[in-house]
Amino acid sequence: MLLSKAIDQFLHELADVRLASEHTVAAYRRDLVRFVAFCGEDASLSAINRTQVQDWLVDSHAAGLAASTLARRLSALSSFFDAAVQAGWCRANVAAGVRPPKLPKRLPRTLPPEQTAALMNHTDRASELRDLALLAVMYGCGLRVSEVVGLNLDDIDMDQFELRVFGKGRKERIVPLPQGAVEYLQAYLGERISAVEEKAVFLNRFGRRLTVRSVQRMLKDRALENGADISVTPHRLRHSFATHLLASGVDLRAIQELLGHASLATTERYTHLDIAKLTEVYDEAHPRARRKG
């Protein structure tokens, strides 16, 4: 079997059987297509060995790619070979024995509290109600950007103040809606475009589901309008949500559930932050804070 054909079948299974998101499939495709280009379009899957995998990483490193990129490429390749072995296309995962490059340890980066609050400053945008509701939900619930644009109307339970969220691998979780987010959401839904066939909560001006890129652009624009001196991304908002909760004394496992982390180890990164400093600013600076004394 050709390597390229095996990869095509793997990507098809990833999307249609494992129900991976479009972004996940696209990321795998980019990395695996590069490996095919390195090995040659006519390369046979059975002929691929560990040396070729190592050579590909060396070549990628020589091109100036970061250690995190090399680790991601190796991970994608290893996942592919795992699937290939299970399908009987090859005998062994030749990427499994290759050691990934050491990654620098990075602490999650958070927004200064005053900058987070400034994102909620009112503007004259036509989409202001939608944008404020989206920000309140994404930040107040700690959602990934893909999760917030993926929300449908029937995922909202206003009676229980809850959201049904589908995370990575379509894993479902229920998260509470803070009071502030409820108010913004109700205001937006009251003015939301009537799109009979569109189930999405957040719509663009054409009445269709908002895209990830549109949310990223909106965040960037609002940050610039408010004089931000560092970049504002959906991922950074999510980190800010988690660090503020931890600073207020919320249990780490509860934060894990809210974030939808499969492993507690992922959530434990937040324990390395300056908790004392975060606690000091939490009550007065968190826009969605509702702590009880």
Active site (catalytic) residues: 144, 168, 235, 238, 261, 270
Q: What does the chain come to in residues?
A: 293
Cα Rg of the chain, angstroms: 22
Query: How far apart, in whole angstroms, are the C-alpha atoms of residue 205 and residue 212?
Result: 15
Phi, psi of 233 (to 5 degrees): -125, 160
Nearby residues of 293 by Cβ (< 8 Å), 6 or more positions away: none
Q: Which residues pair with 162 in a beta bridge?
A: 157, 176
* Calpha distance 179→188 (Å, rounded): 14
Taking the C-alpha atoms of residue 168 and residue 25, their distance in angstroms, rounded to an integer, is 12
For residue 205, which phi and psi values (nearest 5 degrees)? -70, -10
Neighbours of 202 (CB within 10 A): 22
Torsions phi, psi for 164 (to 5 deg): -95, 125
**Pair 158, 186: CB distance under 8 Å:** yes
Burial class of residue 154, CB neighbours in 10 A (0-12, 13-18, 19+): exposed
Report the relative pairing of strands 172-176 and 156-157 from DSSP bridges. Answer: unpaired
